[in-house]
Amino acid sequence: EPEVTQTPSHQVTQMGQEVILRCVPISNHLYFYWYRQILGQKVEFLVSFYNNEISEKSEIFDDQFSVERPDGSNFTLKIRSTKLEDSAMYFCASTIAAGVDPYFGPGTRLTVT
Amino acid sequence: GESVGLHLPTLSVQEGDNSIINCAYSNSASDYFIWYKQESGKGPQFIIDIRSNMDKRQGQRVTVLLNKTVKHLSLQIAATQPGDSAVYFCAENSGNTGGFKTIFGAGTRLFVKA
């Protein structure tokens, strides 16, 4: 069964550093998403991406965040200058069409010290 | 039910019993709802979905009920097993053809006692 993959599984970084979280969505999917989950809390939407542009973003997704699809397979989330409160699990998801349930990856645990 | 914050509502059931997990949603315009299961250290896993033109949908051992009048969703798990222990999230999808976003509820932690 096809799956969304994410690397690394765990990233530790110092406050103020840049991090790039990587995702490989399912190959024939067209819509891509990032979500985050702070420990013990609910999963929160960050951004959706379609046709090489952001289609929607939440208030969490400020100008410290950016996304990119650098090639035909990868989808990345960059945090320019990490803050302690960015520590969370970050989940990538993808769908083949709008309005269907997203397939989630296993997540990257980001720890900012 | 729903709550916000670090303390998830919990439901503890005996193995073999039926479980009912409830959820209230906020957006009356939402037309697509999903239940997810999340095990420790893993991403959300799709269980079952329902569109707003239905009020009930059944899967294998799971049933989702939708009451649009009171904006309430429930997940019923029949003959609950230890492997069902997890956090369960209801979610509503909203958006347009450019992309949908899935809005998650706070989650309910299900404990299954053997």
Chain A residues with CB-CB distance to B47 below 8 A:
none
Residue B114 pLDDT > 90, yes or no?
Answer: no
Test A42 with B106 for CB contact under 8 angstroms. Answer: yes
Residue-wise pLDDT for B37-92, tens only, equals 999 888 999 999 999 999 999 999 999 999 999 999 999 999 999 999 999 999 98
Tell me which residue has tokens 């906020």.
Answer: B26
Nearest by CB to residue B99, choosing from A43, A50, A106, is: A50
Provide the β-strand partners of residue B50.
B33
**CB within 8 Å: B96 and A103:** no
Q: If one looks up domain B10-93+105-113 in CATH, what number appears?
A: 2.60.40.10
How far does B9 lie from chain A, in Å, by closest CA? 11
pLDDT on residue B97: 55
What's the pLDDT band for B7 if we cut at 50, 70, 90? Answer: low
Q: What residue segments make up the domains of chain B, in order of their start? A: 10-93+105-113
Among candidate residues B52, B101, B94, B50, the one with its CA nearest the CA of residue B76: B50
What per-residue confidence (pLDDT) applies to A67?
A: 97
Neighbours of A66 (CB within 10 A): 14
Say yes or no for a CB contact (<8 Å) between A98 and B8: no
Q: Is pLDDT of B2 > 70?
A: no
Tell me which amino acid residue A35 is: Y
Architecture of the structural domain at A5-102: Sandwich (2.60)
CB of A103 less than 8 A from some CB of B: yes
- A19-23, A63-67, B48-52: which range is least confident on average? B48-52
Q: To the nearest whole number, what is the mean pLDDT of chain A?
A: 94
CA distances from A71 to A56, A74, A106, B73 (A): 21, 6, 21, 40
DSSP class of residue A101 equals: P
Q: Are B66 and B77 in contact (CB under 8 A)?
A: no
Contact present, A12 and A101 (Cβ < 8 Å):
no
